[in-house]
Chains A and B, each alone.
Chain A
Amino acid sequence: MKWFRKPSSAPLWQDEFPVFTAGERYVSRRQFSKFLTLTSFGMLVGNLWILARSVFYRPPSYPRVPVAAADELAVGGVKLFTYPTAQDPCILVRTGSDSYVAYSQKCTHLSCAVYYAKEQNRLECPCHQGFFSIADGSVLQGPPQRALPRVALDLAGGQLVAAGMEGGGA
């Protein structure tokens, strides 16, 4: 770390452990400033990581997975499933006799599991009162910043099939 330190005739231990109490105040301030600068560098690394991820992004290919039979749920009924992998919980809601929506169940705030609140007809996260619209998953209120990623559904031969994810491209 030699380049990080201003060239000084005194050895490092003498700078860090001064005999004069007045000098000790400088040591604590210098150490704090150094710590803050390193934190700033850490955040720069974070931004660069995001940049690298976005530069090397390839749209993923999603499998087609059957989720439920078309008449399995009543109107206003809910089914939980996993898509695209077993670690990705999703929620399917029958909003009308002919309309179904499905979203990732992980709240975009801190990944708590959202549930369907039938009376208010919206998806709610119990952790910090984040509410999502059932129509498109957009945020109605609360700390989440992003809409819930939507699962693209195909109705094929009386079967609901999950065919892809939208809005979660990361």
Chain B
Amino acid sequence: MFGMEFYVDPSRCIGCQSCLKACEECDTHRGVSMINFDFVDRPESIATAAYVCWHCDDPTCAQVCPADAIKKYEDGIVGSSLKPRCIGCSNCVLACPFGIPKLVPEYEQMMKCDMCYDRTSAGKRPMCATVCPSQALAYVTPETIAATRREKPVNTFWFGNQKITTKVYMMAPADAGAIAIDVADYTWEGEHEVVSQAF
């Protein structure tokens, strides 16, 4: 939309949680942040990673929703659950390979990032990308990314034998080229690590 795409680079994340606070300010879901914020290995390091919804090309959450509450719009954004339809069954929470949707018990509603659709559909940047000081979350044109980053954007993920292509790009090492990332490599090391989440 408007030629800009969303790029996530977890290695740039400094853990300031500005994205969380900025996301929370949106009046449509005030107080509930849609950023998935991970402390990667909290006992061992201060590394953090912030993620937004990956807005998959064939969204698993939408496919498994029994109430037809999740829709993918024409510009590729996968919306959060439609308020009149969501029944709070958590099917999408369980199904998403990236673990993005969250069930908010107070509203019995699933809530997830919708890339600030009210802003991006008008050409503005999402709140998180606007406030991120290190631009770990960036919403720019592909030309800007190519000109200013060493990493390469990748939007193909393999989960075992399942291939998922997304609208949001992950920045991958430059020498790796345009390859698919095995997300399991990024999420944990060792069997007994627990990944804690900020909210």
Contact = CB atoms under 8 A, between A and B. Distances in A.
Contacts of A22: 74
Interface of A: 17, 19-22
Given A19-B63, A20-B72, 14 more contacts: A17-B68, A19-B59, A19-B62, A19-B68, A19-B70, A19-B71, A19-B72, A20-B71, A20-B74, A21-B71, A21-B72, A21-B73, A21-B74, A22-B74
Interface residues of B, number: 9
A108 B171 CA distance: 80
Contacts of A19: 59, 62-63, 68, 70-72
A31 to B, nearest CB: 15
A130 B68 CA distance: 55
Nearest to B67: A17
A5 to B, nearest CB: 20
Nearest to A14: B63
Chain A interface, DSSP helix/strand/loop, else mixed: mixed
The 5 closest A-B CB pairs, nearest first, are: A19-B62, A17-B68, A22-B74, A20-B72, A21-B71
8 contacts: A19-B63, A19-B72, A20-B71, A20-B72, A21-B71, A21-B72, A21-B73, A21-B74
A19 B63 CA distance: 7
Nearest to A20: B72
A21 B82 CA distance: 13
A20 B72 CA distance: 5
Contacts of B62: 19
Contacts of B71: 19-21
Contacts of B59: 19
B184 to A, nearest CB: 26
Contacts of A20: 71-72, 74
Interface string B59-88: 100110000101111100000000000000
A21 B74 CA distance: 7
A21 B117 CA distance: 15
A141 B43 CA distance: 96
A17 B73 CA distance: 14
B151 to A, nearest CB: 31
A131 B72 CA distance: 62
A74 B100 CA distance: 94
A22 B63 CA distance: 15
A58 B102 CA distance: 75
Contacts of B68: 17, 19
Nearest to A22: B74
A17 B82 CA distance: 14
Contacts of B70: 19
